[in-house]
């Protein structure tokens, strides 16, 4: 399977704990995106990378959130001091810059539950 | 106000019947519009993409239409199957915004036997 993969698929954590998610994009894709999705809503943009550079961050990305893509391949999203409001599906997507269609291919998501 | 509005929010249809989902958007300038299918607990998967000059695009039993003048799109599902039960998300891309996409909240479709 050469699609976008995310790990873990599910994470349950206690409030105040730190969590880290990983995303492996499609290998030749140089753009990588993180989204958050709550029940009954569409995905909300968090941040995106082109290669290793983080080019844009949403206002939704508070100081407790940090994302990295150190070598321009996989990416991690860390949430520090988790709050119950952080419970959501965290989606990763990747695309190839330069394509006129700019299709973003989504991973299966990481479901976070903060208790 | 969300730049992409979808209706109905949810619907239940009998297996074998057709249905049509609506998407209205205000994104400007318009680049393209996609319909994604998202199964429960999974990531969205693209069904169709349409640019300004395209009025209709089909993918099997899914047919999307676009009216760029009125900024409306629809997704028609023909002869629905149980596997069509999912959320269908309308996603619009502008020429500006560093590839930022505007997502609708989705149409939740439940197909019953």
Does B105 sit within 8 Å of A40, measured CB to CB? yes
CA–CA separation, B16 and B39 (whole Å): 19
Judged by DSSP in three states, B66 sits in: strand
Length of chain A: 115
Q: Of A44, A55, A106, which has the smallest distance from its Cβ to B43's Cβ?
A: A106
Mutate to test the interface with B, among A42, A92, A101 (most CBs of B within 10 A): A42
Torsion sign across C-alpha atoms B11, B58, A93, B32? negative
A103 in contact with chain B, both atoms CB, cutoff 8 A: yes
Average of pLDDT values for A34-57? 92
CB contact under 8 A, A42 and B106: yes
Residue B69: the pLDDT is 92
Cα A36 from Cα B53, distance rounded (Å): 32
Provide φ and ψ at A24, rounded to 5°: -110, 110
Tokens representing A43 are 């995905």
- Identify the segments of chain B with pLDDT beneath 70: 1, 96-99
Nearest CA in chain B to A92: B43
A108 shares contact with chain B (CB less than 8 Å): yes
Q: Give A99's contacts in chain B (Cβ within 8 Å).
A: none
Within 13 Å, how many C-alpha atoms sit on residue B70's CB side?
10
3-state DSSP of A10-59: EEEECCCCCEEEEEECCCCCCEEEEEEECCCCCCEEEEEEECCEEEEECC
Q: What's the whole-number average pLDDT of chain A?
A: 92
- Whether chain B has a CB inside 8 Å of the CB on A42: the answer is yes
Return the pLDDT at A21.
98
Could you give the CA distance from residue A49 to residue A113 in angstroms, rounded to a whole number? 26
Q: Tell me which residue in B43, B89, B93 faces A107 most closely, judged by beta carbons.
A: B43
Please check the confidence at residue A1 and state whether its pLDDT lies above 70: no
Name the minimum distance, in Å, from the CA of B113 to any CA of chain A: 24
Q: Give the H or E element holding residue B19.
A: strand B19-25
How much is the mean pLDDT over chain B?
92
CA gap A76, A92 in Å, rounded = 10
Mutate to test the interface with A, among B43, B59, B101 (most CBs of A within 10 A): B43
**% of chain A beyond a pLDDT of 90:** 77
Give pLDDT, residue B97. 59
């Amino acid at each position: 399977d050469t699609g976008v993969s995310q790990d873990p698929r599910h994470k349950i954590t206690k409030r105040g704990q730190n969590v880290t998610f990983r995303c492996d994009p499609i290998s030749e894709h140089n753009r990588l995106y993180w989204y958050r999705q709550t029940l009954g809503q569409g995905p909300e943009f968090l941040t995106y990378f082109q290669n290793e550079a983080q080019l844009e961050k949403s206002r939704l990305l508070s100081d407790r959130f940090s994302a990295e893509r150190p070598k321009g391949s996989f990416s991690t999203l860390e949430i520090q001091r988790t709050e119950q409001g952080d419970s959501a599906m965290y989606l990763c997507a990747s695309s190839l810059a330069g394509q006129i269609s700019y299709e973003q291919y989504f991973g299966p998501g990481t479901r976070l539950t903060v208790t | 106000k969300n730049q992409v509005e979808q209706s109905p929010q949810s619907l239940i249809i009998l297996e074998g019947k057709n249905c049509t989902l609506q998407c209205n958007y205000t994104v400007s300038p318009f680049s393209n519009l996609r319909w994604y299918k998202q199964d429960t607990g999974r990531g969205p998967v693209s069904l169709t993409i349409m640019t300004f000059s395209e009025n209709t695009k089909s993918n099997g039993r899914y047919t999307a239409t676009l009216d760029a003048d009125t900024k409306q799109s629809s997704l028609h599902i023909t002869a629905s199957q149980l596997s069509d039960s999912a959320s269908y998300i309308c996603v619009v891309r502008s020429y500006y915004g560093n590839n930022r996409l505007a997502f609708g909240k989705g149409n939740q479709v439940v197909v019953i036997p």
